[in-house]
Amino acid sequence: MTWMIGADIGGTFADFVARDSASGRLLALKVLTTPDDPGKDVGEGLRRLAGEGLDGAAVTRFVHGTTVGVNTVIQRRGATIALFTTAGFTDILELARLRMPNPYSLFCERPPPLVPREHVFGVRERMSAEGETLLAPQLANVAEAVAAARAAGCVGVVVSFLHAWRNPAHEREVAAMIASLEPALAVFCASAVWPAIREYERTSTAVLNAYVHPRIAAYLERVEVELEHAGIAAPLLLTTSAGGTMSAAQGRRDCVGMLLSGTASGVVGAGVVARAAGVRAALTLDMGGTSADVALLHDGAPSYSAGIEIGLYPLAITTLAVASSGQGGGSIAWIDGQGVLQVGPHSAGSTPGPACFGRGGEAFTVTDAALLCGILGHGKLGFGAIVPQAAAAERAARPIAERLGLSLPALAEGVLDVAISGMLIPIEQLLARAGAHASELTLIPFGGAGPMLGALLAQTAGMRRVLVPALPGTLCALGALTAAIRRDAMRTVLLPLEPASWPAMLATLDLLSAEAADSVAAMAGPGDTEIRRAADLRYRGQSFEISVPFDAATDLAALAAAFHAEHERQFGHAEPGAALQVVSLRVSATRPAPALTLPRRAGRPHAPAALGETPVRLGGQTRQALLLARADLDPGAHFAGPAIVVQPDCTVLVPPGWQATIDELGNIDLERP
């Protein structure tokens, strides 16, 4: 008997799924996170799994996703670092793109740079746009900058020079100088983190990498200690922002590669469910304690993007295309200066958590609102970790209800409505970019709070089908088990798409393919590796580009045709006769994870046995809802809303007008006319 374990550490709960490779048996659980002692929650989860029969010595695969990196950025608790730029370009982080985050708000502000201006030092060097040295860096000048950085208390340095994407020689020279002058300083070259054009985005990505590095490195060391204590000899693998996995050693260097690891794992897990259920087009909803994240799936495969933002700071690496809003189960309700009810983005987190958790929280949150609406409160939450306390939720709600002149039930339902409205914004933006319509999609909600509000969100967005997975509360951990080992590589080339450029393009793609494949082999050993290539193209004179596949059969004409077709699909027009430019070339190398087949059971149509009925506040009135236990729902069971399904990892709401059927995979398939 061998075991595989997937773990996902979120803002409120740490989720675990362990699978017995021989029998296919799954163990799932949640434990409360320990933000003040990161890694302790991993040890607690492993101890509880051992109590359920897991043998640490039999674990052959341990894959872990975490929010430590992204929370470090959002909470601004990262390292004190310095930035060395080309002299004359020291204001790069302040200038950014000279755009406000929200051009429609008179009150929005750009966040302060992660590296304050006094920690940015100019180095006298210059590389031409063609990659030729115009002014070489000098040791004396670098020594002055290093001394100033150390005097300012910096523990790391990011080196980001002009045109280093074309020729990184100066960045490497200065990094070597810093290492010789101050070996204790961690040094990161922007060209090594992500060798792309656009100085600000490249610099921002490298700064994010350095900013989270100490906390991630310390966290990974703690997790490895917990694995050792649990008797697990399997190497620690980390889920990445691109939906793959990498080794812990790689993660220590490539910290930005795991900033969105937990979010990506959930999308991968939803893809497994969608493929097994035969869902062609889906929208995933991952609603945890802090945020609600949405992504699109086509035939179970996610979309990718580059250039997303983490806390309004650009991240240029390849990631899954995920849109987020600050509405999670722990998001706090408040009244703004105009007397309008708002929800989020501030969250109660796991410490102290929502008021109903009874852990000292005093703020009224989405979870408290769901409890007062009668959706929650029919059992313990988070595999028994929390017993919700309605009296505590009422105390937190009363000051807001009195200010707004509302009853407690009306306020609670209003909070849920506002939270759902906030989630619609990123959904509409995502669908607009993809040219999709909500009515064409099946919503797959997961996370601790996703199934609780998923059908209400689908109804508001215009969707007619919701598929709730069998283990929605721990789907991110399940997704980690199925994530392939993946390595991405890219180079900016800035070549015209014409026959004379073709040999150089092919040579660069071969170089990137070897680089990515070697990296995968270093992490996973010898074996078959799948290589996928792509090219970023644009019409000459455009500011941004579109990525199109570049397979072995692609020739110049086919690549151009693919770009024109994609431009037409995204923007509604194309110019087949216009000159094209190849901006960057990309390669991804992947090694598939061990196959994971979801168990199926044949069913027969029947009405399930209910635990009883319970009052629930929906649509401005109190109704009687059927109360069901997920463990009692066999394939073929059929029932109509309003209904509430309780299970150890989450609560599922079936609103009035929706019909629910349990399929062969144990999913709850909801549909409305």
pLDDT digits (tens, 9 = 90+) for 226-249: 999 999 999 999 999 888 888 888
pLDDT(99) > 80: no
Q: Are 517 and 525 in contact (CB under 8 A)?
A: no
Write down the pLDDT at residue 250. 87
Round the average pLDDT of the chain to a whole number and report it.
91
Task: Measure the CA–CA gap between 294 and 450, rounded to whole angstroms.
Answer: 11
pLDDT digits (tens, 9 = 90+) for 618-643: 999 999 999 999 999 999 999 998 99
Question: Hunting for tokens 């900058």 — which residue is that?
Answer: 145
Write down the pLDDT at residue 47. 93
Q: Mean pLDDT throughout 383-393?
A: 87
Q: How many CB atoms lie within 10 A of CB 183?
A: 8
Q: Mean pLDDT throughout 367-389?
A: 89
Q: What is the DSSP string of 201-268?
A: HHHHHHHHHHHHHHHHHHHHHHHHHHHHHTT--SPEEEE-TTS-EEEHHHHHH-GGGGTTHHHHHHHH
Does CATH place domain 78-210 in 3.30.360?
no
Tokens representing 355 are: 């008021």
Amino acid identity at 336: D
pLDDT(24) > 90: no
Amino acid identity at 22: A
Write down the pLDDT at residue 212. 93
pLDDT digits (tens, 9 = 90+) for 103-146: 777 777 788 999 999 999 999 999 999 999 999 999 999 999 99
Write down the pLDDT at residue 80. 96
**CATH assignment of 3-73+216-258?**
3.30.420.40
Q: Percentage of residues in the chain with pLDDT exceeding 70?
A: 100
Write down the pLDDT at residue 343. 93
Write down the pLDDT at residue 101. 73
pLDDT(569) > 90: no
**3-73+216-258 and 486-591 in the same fold:** no
The band of 554, judged by pLDDT with boundaries at 50, 70 and 90, is: confident
Q: Please give the CATH topology (third level) of the domain spanning 486-591.
A: Dna Ligase; domain 1 (3.30.1490)
pLDDT(530) > 80: yes
pLDDT digits (tens, 9 = 90+) for 472-522: 988 989 898 888 888 989 999 999 999 999 999 999 999 999 999 998 998
Write down the pLDDT at residue 52. 86
Write down the pLDDT at residue 587. 94
Q: What is the pTM of this model?
A: 0.88
Element (H, E) at 347: strand 341-347
Q: Mean pLDDT throughout 431-449?
A: 90
pLDDT digits (tens, 9 = 90+) for 323-355: 888 888 999 999 998 899 999 888 887 778 899
pLDDT(440) > 80: yes
Write down the pLDDT at residue 26. 84
Q: Percentage of residues in the chain with pLDDT exceeding 90?
A: 64
Q: Are 188 and 209 in contact (CB under 8 A)?
A: yes
Write down the pLDDT at residue 443. 97
Q: Which residue would you say has higher pLDDT here, 383 or 203?
A: 203
Q: Mean pLDDT throughout 299-310?
A: 83
Q: Are 94 and 117 in contact (CB under 8 A)?
A: yes
pLDDT(526) > 90: no
Task: Measure the CA–CA gap between 27 and 536, rounded to whole angstroms.
Answer: 43
The band of 457, judged by pLDDT with boundaries at 50, 70 and 90, is: very high
pLDDT digits (tens, 9 = 90+) for 26-81: 888 888 888 778 888 999 999 999 988 888 899 999 999 888 888 788 778 899 99
Element (H, E) at 319: strand 313-320
The band of 590, judged by pLDDT with boundaries at 50, 70 and 90, is: very high
Write down the pLDDT at residue 594. 81
pLDDT(23) > 80: no
Tokens representing 489 are: 């590589």
Amino acid identity at 343: V
Task: Measure the CA–CA gap between 673 and 655, rounded to whole angstroms.
Answer: 13
Task: Measure the CA–CA gap between 633 and 545, rounded to whole angstroms.
Answer: 49
The band of 169, judged by pLDDT with boundaries at 50, 70 and 90, is: very high
Domain positions in the chain: 3-73+216-258, 78-210, 486-591, 612-671
Q: Are 385 and 31 in contact (CB under 8 A)?
A: yes
634-666: buried (b, 16+ CB within 10 Å) or exposed (e) per residue?
Answer: ebbbebebbbbbbbbbbbbbbbeebebbbbebb
Write down the pLDDT at residue 426. 87
Running DSSP on this structure, what letter comes out for residue 57?
A: G
pLDDT(307) > 80: no
The band of 560, judged by pLDDT with boundaries at 50, 70 and 90, is: very high
Task: Measure the CA–CA gap between 561 and 565, rounded to whole angstroms.
Answer: 6
Q: Which residue would you say has higher pLDDT here, 599 or 467?
A: 467
